[in-house]
Structure 1
Amino acid sequence: MRIFTAALATETNTFSPIAIDKRAFEASLYARPGEHPATPTLCTAPITVGREVCAREGWTLVEGSASWADPAGLIARATFEELRDEILGQLQAAMPVDAVVLGLHGAMVAQGYDDPEGDFLARVRKLVGPDVLVCAELDPHSHLTAKRVGAADFLVAFKEFPHIDFVDRARDLWAIAVRALKGEIKPVMSVFDCRMIDVFPTSKQPMRGFVDKLYQLEKTEPGVLSLSVIHGFMAGDVPEMGTKIIAVTDNNAAQGAALAEQLGRELFSMRGTFMVAQVDEKEAVEAALRAPKGPVVIADVWDNPGGGTAGDATVILGELIARGVQDVAVGTVWDPIAVQICFAAGEGAEIPLRFGAKSAPLTGDPIDKRVRVRKLVRDAQMRFGESFAPFGDAAWISFDGIDVILNSTRAQSFDPSLFSALGIDPKSRRILLIKSTNHFYDSFSRIAGEIIYCAAGKPYPNTPATTPYQKARRTIWPMVENPWAE
């Protein structure tokens, strides 16, 4: 067998002011054929797992380019077309192939393209013809469009949020592909539209139980090959935004459609109960000060670079400063200019510095302090499951009993190693202020005395009922109370 694999991925917050060009991909991951490292990024596990599978099977794996940019705003049209056409050209050169196995995200939006992944998959299908297997792994925070479903034989999404299972789901993707290529099964995909948009953390009930049910059904239901929930991405203003269920069966579309609908209606019945309770910045700081044991983690859930925001909001930090709270470590505040100033000053320097709150309104005020530059690290990175996430050149500054990590490449707070990468022991601090909606939970819950979810400012469109969508359908919950009404 001869199989082509590649990856092209990012998550687009269409409300974000941060435009994306090729430099954003190069800052996160841009690997030409054969250059992808041994460890995967969030959406490139099909490449690294493919190496293992093809070596085991004695098959030829042809690698195309792998590109990943940290979430932000619209991608420049020329950048998307360049990266897309680069992979299509590599696929053309690799022909003939027996299968195409891709790593995608699913929430990419580019200038002039509401559905870049659908466009890409359709071009792949046209190139290889109707008989070649085409499949892809997706992030669940994506848009499942009819064009994508029509172009792919099957799609598999991560089940967990936080996405600790992206390698495991890539193994599922490849396992189905291998059996299909050997003629043992014929994957057929069925989709159900849940007519809703919500946030579904799997670290708590009821989503924890729902996902466990999917795992069980995959093991016990005859003919079921894969079950995925496409959560949807509420910050993507596109026509087919929303939550959907994918059922992949062994040549039984009717079985898949019935099961997808059953699961989708069950999910809809629990709407509005999934997200953990959030407090504002004043309540968050007060609760942290009352906590009997540290470190207390305050998660700034909506200034999350993983959702396309800048990650430079200062609302919670401003409240901590106003209250005179000390023994605090903040990771991170995105401010490339402040980082440059710190690097120019050098370690040990004491300088006046303005940082943060430069990207958008409703993100707080810039912080003006005389700070000490404690440590400088080039190309810093933190762990994320089996992978590493870069956060660029970084500076540890301190003032008034508060430590802040400034970073030059936007990245959410995946893991406590973001602090230790700069020489800060996260376990020794009373309060850790981080920026993430839920990806932080798996790692930070292991060291936290308490976790507080804080909704501060308005850097992210987190209220779909009132978000000023221009393209997204308004016939789903919570835009309407009963989307099933005729």
Structure 2
Amino acid sequence: MPVAVASIMQESNTFSPVPTRYDDFAPVFGAAALEKHRGKLTEMGGFLAALERQGVAVRPVMAAWAITAGRMLREDFDRLAGEFADRLAKGAKPEALLLSLHGAQTAEGVDDAEGHLLGIAREVLGPRVPIVITLDLHANVTQRMAEIADGIFGYRTYPHVDMFEMGGRAADWALRIIAGQVSPVVALRKLPLIAPAENMQTTSGPMLALQQHARRLERRRRIEAVSVFGVQPWMDIEEMGCSVTVTADGDAAAAERAAAELGREFWERRREFDVQLVPPKQAIERALQVEGGPVVLSESSDSTGSGSPGDSTGLLKELLAARLAEPACIFLVDPKAVAAAMEAGVGATVKLRIGGGFDRLNSKPVAVKARVRMLSEGRWTPRARGYNPGIEQSMGRAAVLDVGAVHILVGERSTMTVDPELFRSHGLDPLYMKIVAVKSPNGFRAAYESFAKEMLVVDTPGVSTANLVSLPFQRVPRPIDPLDPRTRLPKDF
């Protein structure tokens, strides 16, 4: 019998004013899912490589990915979940299911979308078919997810560059379960903690130390995978917080001990995740003092990969006010500005108010007089390791608007800004910029660190701000750090 493979991935930001819709996922089914991921450095690409290397038949179910945004509309989520159920139920019963999830997806009335999808899978497949999952390092792992899954393999890297590897490890574990070589158990320890993403890189700092501890734990007898989850912090939901999971062979007590040990270190290091942000005007001044370029300025509060709408003018306003003599580039979401540029045509000069159209609480439109440099259909293909390399992306129609030395790439829809190819695909090479503005807390480092002279995180308001205490949390479990400074780790942790 074959092994079924599927991927349904999105990260939610419940503070985002932009809801997620079915069409944002652009799902593909059956053979089309294989075609999309075979040979790609994705989790499903890793599933396929491992299974085909062992000569195992593959039954593709579906592949669906959407950029981070607000809660998914309930009707649209029910449609997506229904298609997953229908496709999984068709044909011969698989020997196992390999499922790539983000781990932090929500929908209207569904705080735990992945737990819901896993529940569907368990109902369709029955209690004996192994279900092994991969999760993003920022997953919000719930008790339901841990109870249903027969293995949890979280990314070990941030910026995320090990999706393919984790897919392969998950597939190998599933094959060992099928062969009767292991008896899977999963332990979960949840912490009363949320933390900003800006200082969660695994190349240095506290998350590197936690990952190193996890690798040491994996050397213990019967421990297969130890995953540290920093959680997507911009979700106001009831079962919320950073966590540790341990996947082991048969020894539940050993798994629990390992999860608790690493969870305690996570808690002890919590203040190391705090981040110092730089006011945008000061960041620009620092960038101009650096010899050469580029200097990358991260407007993480408006991160398109964290669920912000990508329309903040906080950094743009300061770039324009600086009257730069050297070039800078920035991405912005504004469908009305794109429409105006399309109507005017390449080479025309347009006067318009740009940005601030979605998150009106944190950003206001900026009046500009711009020259239309380029128009496009907005399709581009990431090249750097990390987020969907080799898989074409779309920001809707797009325009490049020049305001003095500032080049503004404007898209109708949100897209990831972590890969320099976003700008290169529209005639703007970050290598020759003085300043490159990205909307990402950390993921951009993987592609930019090899040539950026300096990288700074700027302090602007937004729904993915690192200043978590400024957000209107109402439903998260209390007490929780940093919202409640006197939070303590439970004595029975």
Which residues of 2 match residues 143-158 of structure 1 at below 5 A?
143-158=140-155
The 10-residue stretch of structure 1 (365-374 or 97-106) with the greater mean CA deviation from structure 2: 365-374
What is the CA deviation profile of residues 307-340 of structure 1, one whole-angstrom value per residue up to 9, with x for unaligned ones?
Answer: 1111111111111212212323323101122122
Q: Distance in 2 between matches of 1:103 and 1:176?
A: 14
Letter in 1 for 2:179: K
Matched, 1:383 2:410: no
State the shift of 1:244 in Å: 0.7
1:260 aligns to 2:272 (yes or no): no
Equivalent-residue separation in structure 2 for 1:44 and 1:428 (angstroms):
28
Structure 1 residue aligned with 2:22 = 22
- CA displacement at 1:415 relative to structure 2: 1.3
Q: How does 1:33-432 map to 2 (within 5 A)?
A: 33-36=30-33, 38=35, 40=37, 45-199=42-196, 200-218=200-218, 220-381=219-380, 382-385=382-385, 386-388=389-391, 390-392=393-395, 393-432=397-436
What is the CA distance between 1:158 and its match in structure 2? Answer: 0.9
Matched with 1:473 is 477
Which ranges in structure 1 are unaligned for 5 or more consecutive residues? none
Per-residue Cα deviation, 1:35-63 (whole angstroms, up to 9, x for no partner): 1265649x993432232233222222111
1:483 is displaced (CA, Å) by 2.3
The one-letter amino acid of 1:364's match is: S
Contact 1:416 1:426 in 2 (8 A): yes
Cα offset for 1:460?
2.6
CA distance in 1, matches of 2:178, 2:330: 46
Q: Within 1, Cα distance between the matches of 2:455 and 2:29? A: 40
Q: Judging changes above 3 Å, is the alpha-carbon distance between structure 1 residues 424 and 45 closer, same or farther for their aligned structure 2 residues?
A: closer
In the alignment, is the contact (CA less than 8 A) between 2:3 and 2:59 conserved in 1?
yes
For the residues of structure 1 that align with 2:353 and 2:37, how far apart are their CA atoms?
36
Aligned to 1:437: 441
Residue 97 of structure 1 aligns to which amino acid in structure 2? Answer: P
Q: Counterparts of 1:94 and 1:272 in 2: how far apart (Å)?
A: 51
In the alignment, the residues of structure 2 paired with residue 69 and residue 372 of structure 1 have an alpha-carbon distance, to the nearest angstrom, of 32
Match of 2:460 among 425, 433, 456: 456
Partner amino acid, structure 2, of 1:435: K
- Alignment check: 8 A CA contact 1:196 1:478 kept: yes
| Change over 3 Å in CA distance of 1:334–1:323 after alignment to 2 | same
Identity of aligned residues (%): 28
Q: Would you say the 8 A contact 2:72–2:106 is kept in 1?
A: yes
Deviation at 1:103, TM superposition (A): 1.1
The aligned counterpart of 1:11 is 11
CA distance in 2 between partners of 1:63 and 1:157 (Å): 22
The residue type paired with residue 10 of structure 2 is T
Tell me the secondary structure at the aligned position of residue 306 of structure 1. Answer: coil
* Segments of 4+ moved more than 4 angstroms: 37-41
3-state DSSP of counterpart to 1:36: helix
Give the CA deviation at 1:216: 4.3
CA distance in 2, matches of 1:17, 1:73: 6
- 2:312–2:462 CA contact under 8 A, matched in 1: no
Contact map agreement 1:383 1:414 (CA 8 A) in 2: no
Alpha-carbon distance in structure 2 between the residues aligned to 1:56 and 1:31: 24
Tell me how far apart the structure 2 counterparts of residues 457 and 182 of structure 1 sit (CA, whole Å): 53
Task: Return the offset for 1:255.
Answer: 0.8
Q: Which residue of 1 aligns with 2:488?
A: 483
Distance 2:285 2:414 in 1: 28
Conserved in 1, the CA contact under 8 Å of 2:418 and 2:440?
yes
- Cα distance in 1, alignment partners of residues 394 and 334 from structure 2: 11
